[in-house]
């Protein structure tokens, strides 16, 4: 039989005891989807099978070609016909798992490991989902924001030092987001970005635009820790996550409307099982957690403007 690695046993001082409490499944699911997780911010779609197909329309209201169009015409003139422009989006679920082998001796002699394993399994799976939503490759896991074809990146200023964040960077990011999304947007940042935010600002000049009048702040201090513990940037809350890369890398700070990210989650969320058969000859039971989900941004490409060369996303 295969030797489990790693496992929890009484023979190692750092290990502990484990017993499965009756509320195992519901507690794990609560940990995987806490209120501040990125998964809970997305456009979630439960599925009973292994995939789901959506008809989607990516045309905009200001497009002059493609999709349903409107025209000005005169009385009694023949109207110009147009038709919808739809395409299919199929998303198949991928599998996220955690497996914990535990000796029968530990199960019999101690119960303190129960809460520990639940908490750690939930934390690990929660971060895996969050990391995939930001960095996922789309192969066997969700497609992350950074790797999505609809990503819009804002370059640093001409005279700006590398691996820094300045006020103009943030203002330009806002200008690249569709106006209707800004009221729902959040700033996702690596913790290394935070010190730059406290000093970030934009130059305030006189009416002629020539004489500096001071610096206007970008970051605002928290107003109610339960809602925005890290404050806000230009009125939108900050979410600090280790899933964002450090300063100087694409994705160190992201402005995102997470309701525009589709997540497909298998109905029932986490499935938890326990079996003594896999390691039967070693007197070890295996606890298994399985979650099937996938995700990707709704947009397949940046949005073209009616007026202006800069795309939006």
Cα(100)–Cα(200) distance, integer angstroms: 46
User: In the prediction, which pLDDT does 121 show?
Assistant: 76
The model's pLDDT over 35-83, given as tens digits with 9 standing for 90+, comes to 467 999 999 999 988 888 888 888 888 888 888 889 898 888 898 898 8
- Number of CB atoms found within 10 A of residue 302's CB: 15
- Quickly list H helices, 47-166: 104-109, 113-135
Q: How many residues are listed for the chain in this entry?
A: 313
The pLDDT of residue 18 is above 50: no
Cα(289)–Cα(269) distance, integer angstroms: 10
The model's pLDDT over 236-245, given as tens digits with 9 standing for 90+, comes to 999 999 999 9
- pTM: predicted TM-score of the whole model, two decimal places: 0.80
User: In the prediction, which pLDDT does 92 show?
Assistant: 92
Between 216 and 23, the higher pLDDT residue: 216
Exposure string over 180-216, b if 16+ CB within 10 A, otherwise e: ebeeebbbbbbebbbebbeebbeeeeeeeeeeeeeee
Q: Which two tokens stand for residue 61?
A: 């209201």
Between 8 and 133, the higher pLDDT residue: 133
| Count of H-run helices and E-run strands, the chain | 6, 14
The model's pLDDT over 116-145, given as tens digits with 9 standing for 90+, comes to 666 777 788 889 999 999 999 999 999 999
User: In the prediction, which pLDDT does 280 show?
Assistant: 72
User: In the prediction, which pLDDT does 22 show?
Assistant: 44
Yes or no: say if 52 and 295 are a contact pair by the CB < 8 Å rule: no
Between 115 and 220, the higher pLDDT residue: 220
Task: Give strand pairing partners of 264.
Answer: 45, 294
User: In the prediction, which pLDDT does 19 show?
Assistant: 45
In the chain, beta strands by DSSP E = 43-47, 51-56, 87-92, 94-103, 186-189, 201-205, 212-217, 219-220, 232-233, 236-240, 253-256, 261-266, 271-279, 284-297
Cα(119)–Cα(51) distance, integer angstroms: 29
> Pick from 182, 170, 180: which is nearest to 233 by CA?
170
Among 9-23, 50-64, 133-147, 218-232, whose mean pLDDT is lowest? 9-23
> Pick from 117, 119, 244, 138: which is nearest to 192 by CA?
244
Q: What is the mean pLDDT of residues 285-291?
A: 82
> Pick from 227, 228, 242: which is nearest to 193 by CA?
242
């Amino acid at each position: 039989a295969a030797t489990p690695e790693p496992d929890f046993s009484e023979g190692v001082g750092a290990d502990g005891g484990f017993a499965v409490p009756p509320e195992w499944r519901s507690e794990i699911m609560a940990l995987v989807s806490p209120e501040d997780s990125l998964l809970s911010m997305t456009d979630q779609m439960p599925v009973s099978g292994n995939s789901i197909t959506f008809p989607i329309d990516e045309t905009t209201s200001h497009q002059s070609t493609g999709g349903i169009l409107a025209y000005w015409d005169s009385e009694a003139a023949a109207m110009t016909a147009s038709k919808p422009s739809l395409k299919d989006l199929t998303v198949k679920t991928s599998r996220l798992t955690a497996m914990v082998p535990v000796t029968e001796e530990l199960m019999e002699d101690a119960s303190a490991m129960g809460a520990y394993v639940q908490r750690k399994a939930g934390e690990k799976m929660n971060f895996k989902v969050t990391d995939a939503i930001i960095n996922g490759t789309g192969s066997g896991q969700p497609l992350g924001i950074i790797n999505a074809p609809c990503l819009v990146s804002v370059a640093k200023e001409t005279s700006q030092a590398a691996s820094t964040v300045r006020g103009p960077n943030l203002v330009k990011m806002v200008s690249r987001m569709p106006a209707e999304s800004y009221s729902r947007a959040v700033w996702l940042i690596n913790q290394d970005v935070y010190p730059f935010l406290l000093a970030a600002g934009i130059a305030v000049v006189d009416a002629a635009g020539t004489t500096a009048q001071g610096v206007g702040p970008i970051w605002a201090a928290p107003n109610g820790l339960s809602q925005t513990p890290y404050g806000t940037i230009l009125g939108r809350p900050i979410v600090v996550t280790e899933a964002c890369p450090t300063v100087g890398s694409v994705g160190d700070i992201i402005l995102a409307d997470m309701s525009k990210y589709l997540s497909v989650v298998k109905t029932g969320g986490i499935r938890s099982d326990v079996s003594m058969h896999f390691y039967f000859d070693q007197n070890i039971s295996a606890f298994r957690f399985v979650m099937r989900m996938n995700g990707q941004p709704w947009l397949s490409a940046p949005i073209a403007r009616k007026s202006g060369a800069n795309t939006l996303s």
